[in-house]
Structure 1
Amino acid sequence: MTPTVDQLSESALLARIFPRLPAGTSTLLGPGDDSAIIASPDGRTVISIDTQVQDRDFRLAWPNGYATTGYDVGWKAAAQNLSDINAMGAEATAMVVSLTLPGTTPVAWVEGLADGLGAAILALGAGRCSVAGGDLSGGSEIVVTVAVTGSLDGRDPVLRSGARPGDVVAVCGNVGWSAAGWALQESGIAPPNYTPALQHAADLFNRPQPPLVAGPAAARAGATAMMDISDGLLRDAGRLAAASGTRLDLDGVVLGRLAERLAECGRALGADPLQWVLSGGEDHGLLSTFPANGALPPSFIGIGSVVSAGAGQPAVSLDGRNFKSVVDGAVGWDHFAV
């Protein structure tokens, strides 16, 4: 019979978790003491934190029959946090993880979470990063909180506030695929009936693939502004525009080409793929701006330009058509929307 977490002591559960996690090169003192010690040769530490809450950020069972594994949740917890560090032009150095678990949670599910966390760190290219410690608690639902530190390695951080009129707006990574995967798992199409395109969308929703080499590369290439696309292209573009005091004018033709990649998923699910590209979150790609007189780094695609906000408010437009209240409106993901 598979044991549950309430059948083990905290120490016994931790003993099942930590051996499954990677030890990165930046950790000077890992789990075992009251705090970890992480090297910071740059003299500065980049830090970010994200939380996943059961039935808010993930479901254990989806309407189409897909069962979320601990591996899925661990992978996504790593990916979304590594992406935030990446978006600053930094490289991750360490993570600490807090788990809240109902007593009935199978130990195998928790071990899977540790495996997914470690696999994502290594597979996504964050080999300097270790899981340096964490905390366990009991509760009525699963909650996974990860804080991650990073190093700029002597570079200046790339902020949201640096976009200037004349810059090129570019994206790197997947756009719209995670939203298609979410729609699939909310649909009536069961996993045995997935086509290759639908399977790809499901995979990218459950296990995002942030382009971790792209953040530092963009910083070296002179990116003027950058952010992680976590809540949808339009919503996040609105945030970058607001921080920079500019308007981002996006190219509908280019975005249409990105949507064409999702055409098969759109037909299967009766949806417009362009809406996934514009409003879908959790792909954890990069939205960046670059000076117009330079070449874009590899894997970046130009999707528009930065223009002056003029007498108006910072905003986002698509082929010159303004989107009203992109940041606070109903476009993209909002953790507190009903």
Structure 2
Amino acid sequence: MVTEAQTLGEVSEEGLLRSIFPFFTLQPGLLVGPGDDAAVLATSGRVVATTDSMVRGRDWLDEWSSAADVGTKLLTQNLADVAAMGGTPTAVLVTLMADPATPVAWARDFARSIGDGAARAGVAVAGGDLSSAPADVLVVSITALGDLAGRQPVLRNGAHVGDTLAVRGTLGRSGAGLALLQQGGDVVGSPSGIRQQCLDHHRRPTAPLAAGVQAAAAGATAMIDISDGLLRDADRVARASGVCVALSDAALRPHVEALVPAVGDATARECVLSGGEEHSLLATFPAGSVPEGWQVLGAVAPGSGVTVDGEPQQPRGWDHFHQ
């Protein structure tokens, strides 16, 4: 009998798996699930595949994030990548590499959060891997799969001069949440609860998953998940497409103003421009075809790089090896 008071080193791999498998509900399309050598999925023939990892001390701190926070964030960032290709997420494979001294309670809370989030998204947890790691090391990863339902994927390299640039979701909230945590995270007396909203979005971000298919159906020419900051991810579209992504300061201003009560004007603007882990979708559309619910941020223009009201911008934001 596995108890949450135990450590991973005190239970068997099979015992831990038996204790977490109930968190993973079956989903349509999962023909063979966890417990065999590999999972078997039904697909349309066009499969989207992506993977992301998180390392304790690098991608999260235990003082700021619980196991459930980590699981939610890891799941969201993977499913958002599938949505950014115009796909519908269908299944995930989960890996846990942990110091044997890691509490069973941490592993169960991590698995439970992934199971709950996957169920809400209609995504199957198809399996994964467990491994021991050196002292104090904790690494988690997810490989996510998605179905294009016979459609072509929406890539980063399809933006054309004259297209409209639009976003679905928020800007800067995760970055503002990180700034608050670095400042101490005081949310007492927060105007309209915006500080708490920013902290929540940093710890447990959400992504507009259905908007990926919506954008593809509307004829999106390019799309990307905002995971490393608006400027850096917009620059990736600009470079891939050989164009300039021209942002409008007036279009960005409402996003900045929403964060000002939480972090002040200067920090709010920087969070909107370079804050990572937002997981909103940024896409370009032929003029006049931006779908409902998307907010116009600018246009695609001749040239290269990213500008704000014509001023060139450095593609700053998160970089795994230059922080």
- TM (norm. structure 2) is 0.95
1:48 is matched with 50
Q: What residue in structure 2 maps to residue 29 of structure 1?
A: 32
- Residue 336 (structure 1) shift: 0.8
Corresponding residue number in structure 2 for 1:304: 298
Q: CA deviation at 1:293?
A: 2.9
Structure 2: which 5+ runs fail to align?
Answer: none
**Partner residue of 1:315 out of 305, 316, 322:** 305
Q: Distance in 1 between matches of 2:320 and 2:101?
A: 26
Shift in Å at residue 108 of structure 1?
1.2
Q: Within 5 Å, which residues of 2 pair with 1:1-338?
A: 2-40=5-43, 42-61=44-63, 66=64, 68-123=65-120, 126-127=121-122, 129-140=123-134, 141-190=137-186, 196-267=193-264, 271-294=266-289, 296-309=290-303, 314-324=304-314, 326=315, 331-338=316-323
> Alignment partner of 2:183: what SS?
coil
- SS of the aligned residue for 1:50 comes to strand
Cα offsets for 1:105-133 (capped at 9, x unmatched): 1111111111111222233xx21x21111
Q: Quick one: distance in 1 between partners of 2:113 and 2:189?
A: 25
- Show CA shifts across 1:260-309 (max 9, x none): 11111123xx8521110000010100010000132x21221000000112
Structure 1 portions without partners, runs of 5+ = none
* 2:36 partner SS: coil
1:234 Cα deviation after fit = 0.2
Pair 1:77–1:260, CA change in 2 (3 A): same
SS at match of 2:157: helix
Deviation at 1:154, TM superposition (A): 1.6
Aligned CA distance change for structure 1 residues 190 and 4 (closer, same or farther; 3 Å): farther
**Quick one: distance in 1 between partners of 2:188 and 2:113?**
23
CA gap 1:225/1:199 in 2 versus in 1, 3 angstroms = same
Counting matched residue pairs gives 317
Change (3 A) 1:271 1:250: closer
Using the alignment, how far apart are the partners of 2:266 and 2:61 within structure 1? 22
**Aligned counterparts of 1:333 and 1:225: Cα–Cα separation in 2:** 21
Deviation for aligned residue 1:188: 2.3
Q: For the residues of structure 2 that align with 1:118 and 1:35, how far apart are their CA atoms? A: 18
> In the aligned structure 2, how far is the partner of 1:23 from the partner of 1:191?
39
Letter of the 1:185 partner, please give it: L
- Which amino acid in structure 2 is aligned with residue 165 of structure 1? V
Give the conservation status (yes or no) of the 8 Å contact 2:165–2:285. Answer: yes
TM-score calculated relative to the size of structure 1: 0.90
Give the Cα separation in 1 of the matches to 2:13 and 2:40: 22
- Distance (Å, rounded) in 2 between the aligned partners of 1:189 and 1:283: 18
Distance 1:189 1:110 in 2: 26
- Counterpart CA distance in 2 for 1:284 and 1:203 is 14
Distance, in Å, in 2 between the alignment partners of 1:259 and 1:157 is 32
Distance 2:322 2:147 in 1: 34
Q: Deviations over 1:240-272 (max 9, x none)?
A: 0000000011001110111111111123xx852
CA 1:120 to 1:5, structure 2 compared with 1: closer, same or farther past 3 Å? same
Q: Percent identity?
A: 44
Q: How far off its partner does 1:152 sit?
A: 0.3
